[in-house]
Structure 1
Amino acid sequence: MRIPFSLHARRTAVAAVTALSLTGLSACGGSSGSGSDSTSLEMWTFKQSHVAALRTAAAAFKKQTGISVTIEAYTPDDAYTTKVQSAAKTGDLPDVLEVHSDGEDRVFGAAGIVNDLAADFTGDWAERIQPQVHDSGLVTDARYEAAQPESARDHGIEKGARYSVPLTVGTFGIVFANKKMLADAGITKAPADWEEFLADLKKTRAKNARTGGVSLGLKVQATGLTWVLQPLAFSQLGKAGYESLFKKDRSADFGSPNGVKVLSLYDQMTPYWMPGTQSLTIDEGDQAFAQGKSAFDIGGTFTLAFLKQNGMNPDDVLAFGLPSPKDGAVPDRALGPLALTSLSIPATSKQPDNAKKWMEFLSQEKVAAQFAKDSSDLPATELGAGSADVLGPTLAALVDSFKGEPAHTYEPSPAVEFRAPGYEQDDAGAILADLTPLGRQSVQETAAKLRALNDSYWAAAKQ
């Protein structure tokens, strides 16, 4: 599975389809897919890149506990959803499900498909999980209120229930670079700031005009907005200034001097885009990088596993968070993690206690670090300094992108929404695409259009 530009949009689509099929099904009785063997569990996942890592962890788990775990993958995501739907009707679900965080888990919980884990996720287990994603899977007061309309996809969830525990996390705004191409251009380290990043792009483009640029799946138009411009704006303006770009105050929105400054910084990317990048999907942008068609690739922490699947050795990749302008308000900006996938226990499992033992085992620091190395994906577990020896430099750099003071951390999914109700990332992304890479309009024209778009959202919301 590849993570698209909008986690919320994707989860909404998955959850909506699932809700139509599962609402009201509840647990249908019958036996779990793992049978009655008290020392044998079954787990399903939709992430092919997780299978080998989970099987390695399962071997260690069996050695420690005597309990075996069979891992099965069903891909792509739609096939997985269909498989779960079918098994829910017949009571043939496994003992553990990997699910999409903060959407699919609550839909399954509302339908009675998965158990409430709130009473179990405590103590050392809970303390191992990164604080930024600790509440993922939990039905907070706000999530409960949002589920009260009968039309809500997760209508029927219980306040305070926890229908999943985070397994993997990730964030946007990660830059990947081909080490060999960098070396050929005389570059030996990650850029310290935005200005140095642009200088490095200039060097790689000078070395090879055809392959020295940067790729990004800009056919999904909001990627430029959410993966580059927004973290760049946070770095330049600070949290308050960044949020003000989307608010009603015209003295601080995209049409203001602050907005023009940020757009001018973003426009500095224009000479360095890989030819045709505006026509590439996210997968195609990453594949272009893996095939040596670009020296740099912008994505998320989750991109590394996809690059590995497409033939790249993670050790041949230099990874770093999108650099900040050296004169910006937050030159040491961190990138906040999001929960991406989580684990749930179907209500039909005959071995919920053993299933919990397996889930807790996966959260242990050494196990989570090995899982990260094997899958090239980041665990929800808070990893200590010693884990860098297991992870290797590329994964360790991804972990380091999370590290920073809360006030200096860009949150791709903030706890409190500051944009107008009904705000659509695609609309803003389409305007930005005409600035860069297409060059159809100037910074000032782009600023005016983004201001007008923002005004229209607030007017429609009547706020």
Structure 2
Amino acid sequence: MRRFRAAAAVLTTTALAVAATGCGGGSDTGGGSNDSPKTLTYWASNQGPSIEADKKILTAELKKFEKQTGIKVKLEVVPWSDLLNRILAATTSGQGPDVLNIGNTWSASLQATGALLPWDAKNFDKIGGKDRFVESALGSAGAEGQDPSAVPLYSLAYALYYNKAMFADAGITEPPATWDELVADGKKISKDGKWALGAEGSNLSNNIHQAFALGKQHGADFFDASGKPTFTSDGAVAAVKQYVDFMAKDKIISPGNAEYAQNQSLRDFAQGKTAMVLWQAAASTFAAQGMKPDDWGVAPVPVPSGTPGTGQNLNSMVAGINIAVFKNTKNLDGATDFVKFMTSDAEQKLLNKTYGSIPPVKAAQSDAAFSAPDTSVLRDTLAKSAAPLPQVANESQFETTVGTAIKELFADAAAGRPVTTDSVKNALTKAQQQMPK
């Protein structure tokens, strides 16, 4: 998922049970695909520094599509805080768009509703074939063993962004490669109103993404092979405690970050209040807030060994955005043509370059822009040391329940209440009990 403003979105068990018959496309032509409708509706996710910026970027591209096909696309850029709930409402009301962006972590959950068009071999052939796409991106497009419920559009991974001037002032010559180094560096920085590490303690999705990567490093997956939650395993407890302890024990995250949920940590970083932040493709946001490219550096997220790679040295979830089609769209041909356009080599290069993300289309990655220092870190992480979040039907409830547990633990830390192994395990036990049976 991108930028994590979906903290308030809750994917309920009831909504997940909605049948596909409850959903319909938003084309207003009144005819089926054989009638060659001339309009499509598209819900885009907010990828840039603002909704208005996305409208400007995408409108220019949609005009290209209209010129090529004669199909006008009605665009709405939906904030992350609203997107998931809007999608769920569309599955029940039948008043949804024809095409939409979804956070890739939602793919299996939304697939379980039956509302999205399955991308089988026939549908992939319409857009140039499945083998055009990077395998790790396809791994976050739906449940294992089923046809994907969406197509990868923008790929992202976590990186460690650091303020060069603040590092230099603290006598630090290079970014930390291990968590021990990060904490040691952080203690040198965290004084005189400055803090080492930014966090979004009230951002449920971001909490999950951090805990998942740390969980991998502790040998935890949060679900077993059958899809049953294992939130209280020793590794899961250790991962969550390590993350919250950056505030509770190590004192390198400001207590005020416990309330952050809307990218405030990026603002603090851009203003020189915080020296480091763990984020996805943050370059465009830093630029929009006045930072120059030379002001900051980027490095892989730390791992215990200092060398990211396979196994327990995975350091990021496979993040990104997928593009999907409502199964009951009245303009299926136009919708798949639009997906083909958005995933074409040319559009993939242009859009991912604009947003600072990585193309999930293999051929588009050859562009020199994706070999720049910041994007090369993201690209290498995706290729070597990232894993998809569990592609299970209850993934979104996982984000809600465990994300909330971490939020509450951050609140404890901010208030000076002790965060212990037992308190973390109790919070995760409560989260697991709230999961659908």
TM norm structure 2: 0.69
Identify the match of residue 200 of structure 1 among 185, 203, 228.
Answer: 185
Q: Deviations over 1:384-403 (max 9, x none)?
A: 76335356332332222223
Q: Are 2:431 and 1:448 equivalent residues in the alignment?
A: no
The count of residues paired between Structure 1 and Structure 2 equals 416
Letter in 2 for 1:295: A
Partner Cα distance (1:384, 1:422) in 2 = 31
Shift of the 40–392 alpha-carbon distance from structure 1 to 2, 3 Å rule, reads: farther
1:168 aligned residue: 154
Equivalences for residues 220-239 of structure 1 within 5 A: 220=203, 226-235=208-217, 237-238=218-219
Q: Deviations over 1:134-192 (max 9, x none)?
A: 26555767xxxxxxxxxxxxxxxxxx665532323445x54322344334445554332
1:320 aligned residue: 299
Superposed displacement of residue 371, structure 1 = 1.0
Partner Cα distance (1:213, 1:61) in 2 = 45
Shift of the 398–269 alpha-carbon distance from structure 1 to 2, 3 Å rule, reads: farther
Q: Are 2:360 and 1:357 equivalent residues in the alignment?
A: no
Partner Cα distance (2:210, 2:149) in 1 = 33
Q: Is the 8 A contact 2:199 2:260 kept in 1?
A: yes
Corresponding residue SS for 1:31: coil
Partner Cα distance (1:303, 1:297) in 2 = 9
1:134 aligned residue: 138
Shift of the 452–305 alpha-carbon distance from structure 1 to 2, 3 Å rule, reads: same
Q: Is the 8 A contact 2:6 2:205 kept in 1?
A: yes
5+ long unaligned stretches in structure 1: 142-159
Q: Deviations over 1:227-282 (max 9, x none)?
A: 545533533x4458998xx85998x5678xx7899589857962321352223334
Shift of the 354–290 alpha-carbon distance from structure 1 to 2, 3 Å rule, reads: same
Q: Are 2:333 and 1:335 equivalent residues in the alignment?
A: no
Identify the match of residue 271 of structure 1 among 232, 235, 251.
Answer: 251
Shift of the 109–379 alpha-carbon distance from structure 1 to 2, 3 Å rule, reads: farther
Shift of the 312–37 alpha-carbon distance from structure 1 to 2, 3 Å rule, reads: farther
Which structure is larger by alpha-carbon Rg, 1 or 2?
Answer: 1
Identity across the alignment (%): 18
Letter in 1 for 2:179: W
Equivalences for residues 429-440 of structure 1 within 5 A: 429=406, 432-433=409-410, 436=413, 439-440=416-417
Partner Cα distance (1:98, 1:241) in 2 = 26
Per chain length, whose mean CA-contact separation is higher, i.e. which structure has more relative contact order (CA < 8 Å, sep 6+)? 2
5+ long unaligned stretches in structure 2: none
Corresponding residue SS for 1:296: strand
TM norm structure 1: 0.66
Superposed displacement of residue 31, structure 1 = 0.5
Shift of the 212–165 alpha-carbon distance from structure 1 to 2, 3 Å rule, reads: same
Q: CA RMSD in A?
A: 5.3
Q: Deviations over 1:113-134 (max 9, x none)?
A: x655432114843122232342
Shift of the 321–414 alpha-carbon distance from structure 1 to 2, 3 Å rule, reads: farther
1:147 aligned residue: none
Shift of the 310–421 alpha-carbon distance from structure 1 to 2, 3 Å rule, reads: closer
Q: Is the 8 A contact 1:128 1:364 kept in 2?
A: no
Partner Cα distance (1:375, 1:260) in 2 = 30
Partner Cα distance (1:288, 1:189) in 2 = 21
Q: Is the 8 A contact 2:161 2:296 kept in 1?
A: yes
Partner Cα distance (1:233, 1:86) in 2 = 34
Q: Is the 8 A contact 1:99 1:341 kept in 2?
A: yes
Q: Is the 8 A contact 2:209 2:317 kept in 1?
A: no
Q: Deviations over 1:328-384 (max 9, x none)?
A: 99674342314534232674544x445433322332445323211212344443467
2:163 aligned residue: 178
Partner Cα distance (2:41, 2:240) in 1 = 54
Q: Is the 8 A contact 1:205 1:211 kept in 2?
A: yes
Q: Are 2:360 and 1:375 equivalent residues in the alignment?
A: no
1:191 aligned residue: 176
Q: Are 2:81 and 1:102 equivalent residues in the alignment?
A: no
Letter in 2 for 1:126: K
Letter in 2 for 1:271: K
